Amino acid sequence: MSSSENHHDRLVEEYIARIHQALRDLPPERRDPIVEDIREHIRTSRAAMAPEDEAQIRQLLDDMGDPAAIRAEAGLPSTPQNGWADRLAPWLILFGGFVLIVGWLAGVVLLWNSSVWKTRDKVLATLIWPGGLAAALYAAGIGMALPGSVQPSSCSGGPGILTHCTSQPGPGAFHVIAAILVLVILIAAPIVVNVRLIRIYHRSVA
Amino acid sequence: MHNMVDKNEASWLGQLRRGVADRCVLALLEHRERYGFDLAKTLSQAQVIAGEGTIYPLLSRLRRDGLVDTVWRESTEGPPRRYYALTPAGTDALAQFRTQWTQFTRAVNELMDNAKEVSSE
């Protein structure tokens, strides 16, 4: 076998490997016959070229089509799955903040590397809230401490005239409701956003 | 703007092709069994499929749906080859598609002609 034929074989094998990769979500009993048929198709084409050159081989592989198109025809979603990475990302973003900040950062990296989610979803998941639930609880902790320590007073009127001041009577009912509301939003937002990410992921693999 | 029109055009045509490609396979198998390679070449030249390789997942699906069957045939060059043949269910599906396709294209043609008449008035 000549060295150029070796090189052509390598080009073909690279293409077959890409097909294999594109169809990796299929069960082997469905994937293998398709890959075998494509291999045979290429063999039949090459048998008709004698002698073959590299341009012909490249043209042949080009005519076979984009692995993504073959994947689509096999009824698989157009976005190749990253498997564990896509499954893990939303959970890391949600709870990773508790593992210092590293867990959350890892989640964000996996999120942005994935092709399952749209940019819009990625931006949302990154911004609500950086640090995930850990950040939400931390912020809630600060928020809880604030109403008791800060007692603002409001004054109306101007210099020289009667100045009317009302002292704020500590954390009133309104403040308590507002604080609970903020707390709920702080905790619910990352949960809602990440549940959405998980739903999109499951729809993409269904 | 022009790009968007082009893109839309490519997308409807692509969808239409994907929708009818497997029915075209059934039509090609109507009178005789065929080698996958020949099916790929014919449909690719007719620009019904995007790449020759896309015929194989398509054939795999038709086979799972019970519309085509495979038979091994001896080949003068090399190992035996897998040929594809229509099953009775495939024959029925083809007949049904023919009727629907005729009705569909007639309806679309009428709409197109109608639009032409209105615009020329």
Q: Which two tokens stand for residue A143?
A: 């928020």
Q: What share of chain B is helix, strand, coil (3-state, %, to 5)?
A: 70, 10, 20
Q: Is residue A78 part of a domain?
A: no
pLDDT of residue A174: 83
Residues A18 and A114 occupy one common structural domain: no
Residue in chain A closest to B78 (alpha carbons) equals: A44
Residues A132 and A69 occupy one common structural domain: no
- The bridge status of strand B34-35 relative to strand A153-156 is unpaired
Partner A, chain B 81-110, Cβ-Cβ below 8 Å: 81-82
Best of B24, B54, B77 to disrupt the A interface (most A CBs within 10 Å) is B54
Look at residues A45, A73, A101 and tell me which one is the last residue of a structural domain: A73
Helix, coil or strand: residue A161:
coil
Dihedral of CA A191/A192/A194/A200: which sign?
Answer: positive
Which residues share a beta bridge with B82? B72
Residues A57 and A106 occupy one common structural domain: no
CATH, range B2-120: 1.10.10.10
Q: Is residue A79 part of a domain?
A: no
Residues A94 and A19 occupy one common structural domain: no
Backbone angles phi, psi at B72, to 5 degrees: -90, 130
Residues in chain B within 8 Å Cβ distance of A43 = 78
Residues A118 and A20 occupy one common structural domain: no
End-to-end CA distance of chain B: 29
pLDDT of residue B25: 97
Residues A57 and A102 occupy one common structural domain: no
pLDDT single digits (tens) A5-42: 789 999 999 999 999 988 988 999 999 999 999 999 99
Residues A107 and A158 occupy one common structural domain: yes
Residues A96 and A185 occupy one common structural domain: yes
Q: In tens digits, what is the pLDDT along chain B, a chain of 121 residues?
A: 445 555 565 688 888 888 899 999 999 999 999 999 999 999 999 999 989 999 999 999 999 999 999 999 888 777 888 899 999 999 999 999 999 999 999 999 999 988 766 666 5
Residues A130 and A189 occupy one common structural domain: yes
Number of domains observed in the structure of chain A: 2
Residues A56 and A34 occupy one common structural domain: yes
Residues A23 and A100 occupy one common structural domain: no
pTM above 0.90, yes or no: no
pLDDT of residue B67: 97
Residues A41 and A18 occupy one common structural domain: yes
pLDDT of residue B78: 75
Q: Is residue A186 part of a domain?
A: yes
Beta strand segments in chain B, E: 34-35, 68-73, 81-86
Give every residue of chain A whose pLDDT is below 50, as ranges: 149-154, 163
Distance CA B17, CA B44 (A): 11
Print the domain residue range for A159: 84-205
Q: Where along chain B do its domains lie?
A: 2-120
- Please tell me which of the candidates B44, B57, B82 has its beta carbon nearest to residue A63: B44
